[in-house]
Amino acid sequence: MPNYQQIINDIHANLKTTKNTGEVADYIPELGKVDGELFGIYLNNVHGNNFEVGDTQVPFSIQSISKVFSLAMAFANQGNALWERVDVEPSGNPFNFLSLLEREKGIPRNPLINSGAIVIADCLVSNLKNPKEDFIQFVRGLAGDDSISFNEQVAESERITGFRNYAIANLLKSFENLANPVEEVLDFYFHQCSIEMTCEQLSNAFFAFANHGVCMRGNQCLTQKQAKRINAIMLTCGFYDEAGEFAFEVGLPGKSGVGGGIVALLPNHYVITTWSPPLNEKGNSYFGMQALEQFTTETKSSIF
């Protein structure tokens, strides 16, 4: 087995000595308050010890990484009927793009862009008795950690600045691909994106996707088929219009968020989470992308 601790120590130290040309997301005001110097790497080894370096125990807003959790919950609830409302193809466009949605008559290209995630949110609002509470309990179950919660300040910050998401939701509504009121769906969506987790908690929550659907606590959270399908969507769609670059450079299924987090996994082996708030021009963590490329190169452990 590679010396994971030494490898992530070296990657972390080397990147900390280089200039980070990324910028912290400030279009959501609460995110703009985060210290751009924070940087952590956490590796959850499916069959052994875990490894960490840097700021792995600092909670941060997971943002679009939450779309994997909402997709997993909706897929478990609805099965293949879900794909009647959202496709599974890469978009090749930014995460909040509108014109593609209009051209394709209200069917989002995949569930990991904003339009697709808003449709998934609508599915959960329709099918859950207490949507926000049921969802946070689902995430806590995946991670084996009951302390995980929403950040209400971030959710409110998203609500008052989320004009493009309102436009997307109203466009979906015009194509009859939103069953519930726009405000209700977006309230759920903004809350799911506001979830705060540490690198360790995120790695734990993604454990099931690397372990055939079996969670940290040993229970079957997802079927093997569901885990397989969601991993495929992460590989092709997890980084928006940089998904091809991530597959090319890193070679793992994964998901990023504009809070600066990235989670990636090698089935049957590990989950690795990086967090560094400054983002590149595509909206992915500048240090995180480099760290994961270096990691899979050093460990020779991509899926390819």
Q: What is the DSSP-derived secondary structure letter of residue 177?
A: -
Which of 240, 276, 285, 302 is an active site residue? Answer: 240
Q: What is the DSSP-derived secondary structure letter of residue 61?
A: E
Question: Please, how many CA atoms are within 13 Å of residue 276, restricted to the half-sphere of its CB?
Answer: 27
The pair of structure tokens assigned to 287 is 């240090």
Which of 53, 119, 258, 263 is an active site residue? Answer: 258
Give me the numbers of helices (H) and strands (E) for the chain, helices first please.
13, 8
Q: Please give the Cα distance from 298 to 67 (Å, whole number).
A: 29
Which of 61, 67, 125, 203 is an active site residue? Answer: 67
Question: Angle, nearest 10°, between helix axes 286-299 and 4-16?
Answer: 140
Q: Please give the Cα distance from 124 to 133 (Å, whole number).
A: 11
- Is 139 one of the annotated active-site residues of the chain? no
The pair of structure tokens assigned to 284 is 């992915």
- Is 19 one of the annotated active-site residues of the chain? no
- Is 67 one of the annotated active-site residues of the chain? yes
- Is 189 one of the annotated active-site residues of the chain? yes
Which of 66, 70, 173, 189 is an active site residue? Answer: 189
Which of 61, 64, 276, 285 is an active site residue? Answer: 64
Residues with a known catalytic role: 64, 67, 189, 240, 258
